[in-house]
Amino acid sequence: MKATAIEKICSKFPGIACREVLNYVEMTVQPEQLEETLSRLKLYPELNFGLLLDITGIDYLEYPVAQDCRFAVVYTIRNWRDNMLVQVKVPVPDPDKGVPTCTHLWSSANWAEREVYDQYGINFIGHPDLRRILNHWQFKGHPLRKDYDIFKGQVCYDSYSMENEIKNRLLANGVDETTMKDINTEIMFLNLGPSHPATHGAIRIFTALDGESILANVNEIGYLHRGFEKTAENRTYNQVIPLTDRLNYCSAMMNNIAYVKAVESWLGIEITERCKFMRVVMSEFFRVQDHLVCIAANLVDMGGLTNYWYLYNEKEASYDLISRLTGARLTSSFTRIGGMYRDFYDGWEHDMEVQLKAIEKGVSDSLALVLKNRIVHDRTQGTCKLSAETALSYGFTGPCLRASGVPFDLRKDNPYYNYESFDFNVPVGSTGDIYDRIMVRFEEIFESIKIIRQAMKHIPDGPIFVKDHNAVLPPKSEVYNNIEGLANHFKLIFEGVKVPSGEWYDSFEAANGELGFHFVADGSGKPYKLKVRPPCFYIMGGFHEMVEGEMIADAVINLGSINIIGGELDR
């Protein structure tokens, strides 16, 4: 972000403390100023912050520096057109009273505020449907508060009928049950999921049906919630890496890279050129894997089972390559702060080239089955459309946003790891229907392969670790042979990487969209708070917008086309 942009933002808000963090602006406002600040950010044409990325709470109970209020809420908002990012931080004097909602400005605030309420118990005044989202509805307490003991388990198993929610949604959609009674029919309330073949992972899609048409839809998530954020607060920075594997498990290493990139950006570590290229190669390779899984599963939902094997065979072979490199097929945990776990093995270029060719063949075979297939066109074109405005309002990022016609890609707009020097295109859809979402992913596979080929051509030799032994483990020879190396090793292993205290947000273009990490560091070796901004969560928040009015079979393929990954959705 350019300095002029920062000045532009600050000049619009006189009297509000603005400061520059990394490459964005952080504003601290008082609760009574919040509503006006947010609406200005959204509605002023020259600011136009249309994409609410994330809302998170912070509990300062155990923070070493004393704060005015125990709780704070942070809004992360982006203007994708001018590449401006702003964070608005508001202290919350009384969590039960809370802060005003911003659901009228951004639809994505609905689920985001529910999550803050669920995890921190902060109320949002005027929220239409404030209830738990990730934790079970019978859960007591708010787990991300610092006074909630991590070992305090609760057993909840009763399922929730969601009758009121769906009835409210029916009313909101203007469906009158009495007219249905007049013609002597009833609305069928049907659950798809959590234990259903169409829900990849465990999501509950609750629909009200008139025959086959969906009149109303509400969704329940959290079936795979395992407390990523709470666990991360009790691990050192490097120990969090294996946890990130389990976020989007289809592209595990992208999460690793996104996480260490976020930590490194605060530490100010400039990683070596070879490491940058390695990360580009691996993240693009995993982007291909993620898209292969998504398209394969989507076409299976459509009944085209043969595509599954054409795409999945190549994915399985790619996993063999990945396991040769990292030692694990799925959960690679391959990155470290300041570098990678190890360098490429000898002859990887050949293996990679063979694999890329195989992927190209598999994808082309599948495209041959799909591209001119009338049934596929009839089913996907014009179904479950989402306009660009609605998609932005719901906080969509990544391929799903690009399918709606918004050419926003962090690799182009906010390049990192020399992405600006690669030659690649960002495929964009036109209508935002299922067909566009599938085709954007197909195109991105070819673009990613292009990037990998370029990176393989230009990858330099050299070390993969920076020479900073406050962050990176010294080589084993030094550990065994001199006292300084041993001391570094000891300190890094026992205490973790010491990260200076502060708060920052950093993001990465993962396979599903913008994967962001919001950190609060207190100077120790463990993150004081770590909030993930998972792309799926917000995409799922807009699911009902896409499927209402469509058929039940369309809802199923729509769920496949937006690539919901339970691990990332529920954390």
Partner 1 sequence: MSLTLLNVIFAVVVAIAFAALNAAYLVWAERRGAGRIQRRPGPNINGPFGLFQPPLDGLKLMAKQLTIPGGADKILFVAAPVLSMFPAIMSFVTIPFSEMIVAHNMNVGLLMIFAFASSGSMALLFAGWSSRNKYAMMSAVRSVSQAVAYEIPMLITAITIVLMTGTMDLMEIVRQQGPSILHWNIFPLLTNSHNLLMPFSFLIFFTCTLAETNRAPFDLGEAESELVAGFHIEYGSMGFGLFFMAEYANIVIGSCLTTILFLGGWHPPLPFLGFIPGVVWFLLKIYILIATFIWIRWTFPRTTIYGLLNLSWKILIPISLFNLLLTAGLLKVF
Partner 2 sequence: MSAELVLSSVIFFGLAVIIPVIMLLTAVFGPRSGGVAKNDAYESGIKHVVGMADQKFSVKFYLLAILFLIFDIEAVFMYPWAVSLRELGMFGFLEMVVFILLLLTGLIYILKKGVLNWR
Question: Least distance in Å: CB of 238 to partner 2?
Answer: 38
Residue 570 touching partner 1 (CB under 8 A): no
Q: CA 392 to CA 394: how far, in whole Å? A: 5
Q: CA 361 to CA 314: how far, in whole Å? A: 9
Question: Least distance in Å: CB of 304 to partner 1?
Answer: 4
475 preceded by a cis bond (ω within 30 of 0): no
Tally of CB atoms within 10 A around 4: 8
> H helices then E strands: how many in the chain?
22, 15
Tally of CB atoms within 10 A around 186: 10
- From 330, 456, 479, 551, residue interacting with partner 1 (rule: CB under 8 A): 551
Question: Least distance in Å: CB of 211 to partner 2?
Answer: 3
Cα-based angle 413, 4, 421 (whole degrees, multiple of 5): 30
Select the span of 171-179, 193-201, 338-346, 513-521 touching partner 1 (CB under 8 A): 193-201
Residue 267 touching partner 1 (CB under 8 A): no
Q: What are phi and psi of 440, to 5 degrees?
A: -60, -40
Q: CA 241 to CA 510: how far, in whole Å? A: 16
Which C-beta is closer to partner 2: that of 267 or that of 434?
Answer: 434
Let me know: does 223 contact 570? Beta carbons within 8 Å.
yes
Which C-beta is closer to partner 2: that of 107 or that of 199?
Answer: 199
Which C-beta is closer to partner 2: that of 66 or that of 183?
Answer: 183
Beta strands at 213-220 and 204-210: parallel, antiparallel or unpaired: antiparallel
Select the span of 82-90, 470-478, 500-508, 546-554 touching partner 1 (CB under 8 A): 546-554
Closest CA to 567 of 199, 219, 225: 225
Question: Least distance in Å: CB of 375 to partner 2?
Answer: 16
Residue 198 touching partner 1 (CB under 8 A): yes
Question: Least distance in Å: CB of 353 to partner 1?
Answer: 21
Residue 210 touching partner 1 (CB under 8 A): no
Question: Least distance in Å: CB of 202 to partner 2?
Answer: 9
Binding mask 370-389 for partner 1 (x = CB under 8 A): ---x-xx-xx----------
Which C-beta is closer to partner 1: that of 299 or that of 515?
Answer: 299
399: partner contacted, choices partner 1, partner 2, none (Cβ within 5-8 A by kind): none
Which C-beta is closer to partner 2: that of 90 or that of 209?
Answer: 209
Question: Least distance in Å: CB of 554 to partner 2?
Answer: 9
194: partner contacted, choices partner 1, partner 2, none (Cβ within 5-8 A by kind): partner 2
Which C-beta is closer to partner 2: that of 34 or that of 564?
Answer: 564
Which C-beta is closer to partner 2: that of 190 or that of 487?
Answer: 190
Which C-beta is closer to partner 1: that of 298 or that of 393?
Answer: 298
Let me know: does 386 contact 545? Beta carbons within 8 Å.
yes
- From 17, 61, 190, 354, residue interacting with partner 1 (rule: CB under 8 A): 190
555: partner contacted, choices partner 1, partner 2, none (Cβ within 5-8 A by kind): partner 1
Q: CA 27 to CA 87: how far, in whole Å? A: 6
Residue 553 touching partner 1 (CB under 8 A): yes
Q: CA 438 to CA 198: how far, in whole Å? A: 17
Beta strands at 99-100 and 24-28: parallel, antiparallel or unpaired: unpaired
Strand partners, 505: 518
- From 63, 137, 139, 309, residue interacting with partner 1 (rule: CB under 8 A): 309
Question: Least distance in Å: CB of 216 to partner 2?
Answer: 12
Beta strands at 502-510 and 17-21: parallel, antiparallel or unpaired: unpaired
Q: CA 153 to CA 300: how far, in whole Å? A: 38
Q: Which two tokens stand for residue 46?
A: 């020259």
Task: Provide the binding-site residues for partner 2, judged by CB under 8 A.
Answer: 158-163, 166, 183-196, 204, 209-213, 550-551
Question: Least distance in Å: CB of 547 to partner 2?
Answer: 13
Tally of CB atoms within 10 A around 147: 10
Question: Least distance in Å: CB of 448 to partner 2?
Answer: 35
Tally of CB atoms within 10 A around 513: 28
Residue 300 touching partner 1 (CB under 8 A): yes
245: partner contacted, choices partner 2, partner 1, none (Cβ within 5-8 A by kind): none
Q: CA 370 to CA 360: how far, in whole Å? A: 15
Residue 475 touching partner 1 (CB under 8 A): no
Question: Least distance in Å: CB of 382 to partner 2?
Answer: 9
Maximum distance among all alpha carbons in the chain?
87
End-to-end Cα spacing for the chain: 30
Angle (deg, nearest 10), helices 552-561 and 273-301:
170
Binding mask 330-369 for partner 1 (x = CB under 8 A): ---------------------------------------x
Sign of CA dihedral 49, 52, 54, 55: positive
Question: Least distance in Å: CB of 178 to partner 2?
Answer: 14
302: partner contacted, choices partner 1, partner 2, none (Cβ within 5-8 A by kind): partner 1
Tally of CB atoms within 10 A around 132: 18
Let me know: does 67 contact 60? Beta carbons within 8 Å.
yes
Q: What are phi and psi of 76, to 5 degrees?
A: -110, 120
Residue 313 touching partner 1 (CB under 8 A): yes
373: partner contacted, choices partner 1, partner 2, none (Cβ within 5-8 A by kind): partner 1
Residues with Cβ within 8 Å of 148's Cβ and at least 6 positions away in sequence, in order, are 141, 142, 230
Q: Kind and range of the H or E element at 59?
A: strand 51-59
Select the span of 176-184, 304-312, 447-455, 507-515 touching partner 1 (CB under 8 A): 304-312
Closest CA to 103 of 123, 78, 79, 127: 127
- From 47, 464, 471, 552, residue interacting with partner 1 (rule: CB under 8 A): 552
Give the binding site for partner 1 (CB under 8 A): 188, 190, 192, 196-198, 212, 299-306, 308-310, 313, 369, 373, 375-376, 378-379, 551-557
